[in-house]
Amino acid sequence: MTLTAPHGIRGGGLDPEDLDLTVIAIYEVAFAGLGATAVGGVAAAALMARSRQTLTRSLARAQAAAADAERQREAVLKHLRQRDEALKHLVGARLPSLALHLRSDHYPVPGLKDTSLSGTEFAALLDAVQRWVSEAVLDERQRVNAAASAALRGAFMEIQAKAYRLQTDLTDLQHSCEDEKTLKDYFRLDHLNEQLVRLVQKGAIVAGLWPGLVRPNSHLPDLVTAATARLAGFERVSVHSKLRTDTVGVVGRAAEPVAVACTELLANALEFSRADLSVEVTLLPTDNGAVCIQIDDAGKGMTAEEDGRAAQLLAGGKQVLLTELGDPPALGFAAVGRLAFEHGFGVTVDQTSPYSGVRAIITIPPALVAEINPRTNPLSAMSPLPAPAPRAPRRAVSSEQDGTAGPDSDALPQRRRHRRRASGPDERTAPVGRPPEPGQARTIWDDFEQGMAAGRSGAPFDTIRNEDRA
């Protein structure tokens, strides 16, 4: 009997879906005739072997697929853990550091904790969140600062107006006062009001207002003297002038800003030096036509961080937020920087004084320097006099005049005794200031006040002066 390959065995392979048909075909062959039992046994053994191989391969493929799935699952879980850690780092470290950085530049802002996320879309989303938070914080700070500045401007304008009105009333009381003790009390109250005006003035400047006072072209020594008079502890300030003439002044638009800047720098020098130490102020000319106010104190100086912060505030170009000035806010350098930037003069505090303190310099450029006629507008009696001009070099005396041998003579040079010459007017040392007698000071002050009153009323000065004397 001829045997044919059952369906599914043909081709030497076994498809899993044809397994049932193969089994039926084997049974058909087994019952086909004599000798079929032996052939069927062989076929069944081959089929079982093939089935085991197929099942083994299927199991191996299933196990490999399961391993791949497990690896993919572990990779997804690791990626999710990395994202969770990156989010925690953003909320717990990056954003708080950003808030500190926006307050002060020396606080660093960390980046991604896991660098394997760099360049991914998730890292870009984290950076976008950080930028959004930064913009939101800055916008809110600007809004709060604008509201606070507006409130301060309104308050300072009212206080400043009342302070100037009080100053006018005190001046009138000084004019009408005849009792010396009462007059001293009025002067003391006037000085106290000047300090109040100074405090309100610098706050108003930081809030965006102008200094509140317009001066004509003014002598530079008078401005420094006026700045000194606004401070408690003014007796510790010593003013020296190295100006060559008494015609050096400051143009009117910059006179009060320069006086305010000098006041704040002097206040800083007095505050940060011991109460028994003096503050030296020197007025210096320069070669290019500018003049300088140099202030030297004997305090402890400034640290590198304080020096950098002061330089940033005195530059004046960057908007200063009230929240950046401390609690309570330190307004002095901020006010000086704003005035210097707006009016074109320079201020530096980055040098060390000869007394190991701080040297502050106000540089007034030639464009702000004015020439004032000392006859029509003389210096104040309390201002320092100009420095004497340097002596001209003495002319060499010839050998015929002094009896010594000339350069070609064989005689040895002889030492001559010179008589002391009387000091000439060019060799006299001018005093630093002119402290007048009390009676003279009162007369000068009365004349000044009467002149101011004459200017306000339009009446001739001689008329008001004669009426007061009568």
For every residue of 304-338, DSSP letters joined together read HHHHHHHHHHHH--SPPPGGGSTTTT--HHHHHHH
pLDDT in tens, the chain (470 residues): 444 444 444 444 445 555 455 555 555 555 555 454 555 566 667 677 777 777 787 878 888 888 888 888 887 887 788 888 888 888 888 888 888 888 777 788 888 877 777 778 878 888 888 888 888 888 888 888 888 888 888 888 888 888 889 988 998 998 888 888 898 999 999 899 888 888 888 888 988 888 878 889 999 999 999 999 889 888 999 999 999 888 999 999 999 999 999 999 999 999 999 888 999 999 999 999 999 999 999 988 888 888 888 888 898 777 777 877 877 888 889 999 999 999 999 999 989 899 889 999 999 999 999 999 888 888 887 788 787 766 666 655 554 444 444 444 455 555 555 444 444 444 434 444 555 566 677 777 777 777 777 666 655 545 544 444 44
Global pTM reads 0.62
- The residues facing 352 across adjacent strands are 358
The C-alpha torsion from 170 through 172 and 178 to 182, rounded to 10°, is: -10
Q: Which residue, chain included where needed, has tokens 């984290």?
A: 126
> Residue 330 and residue 353: Cα distance in Å, rounded?
23
> Residue 442 and residue 450: Cα distance in Å, rounded?
12
> Residue 470 and residue 461: Cα distance in Å, rounded?
14
Per DSSP, the three-state class of 22 is helix
> Residue 457 and residue 451: Cα distance in Å, rounded?
10
Helical (H) or strand (E) element with 39: helix 36-89
Helical (H) or strand (E) element with 204: helix 180-207
CA 398 to chain CA centroid, Å, is: 63
> Residue 433 and residue 387: Cα distance in Å, rounded?
11
Q: What DSSP state is assigned to residue 123?
A: H
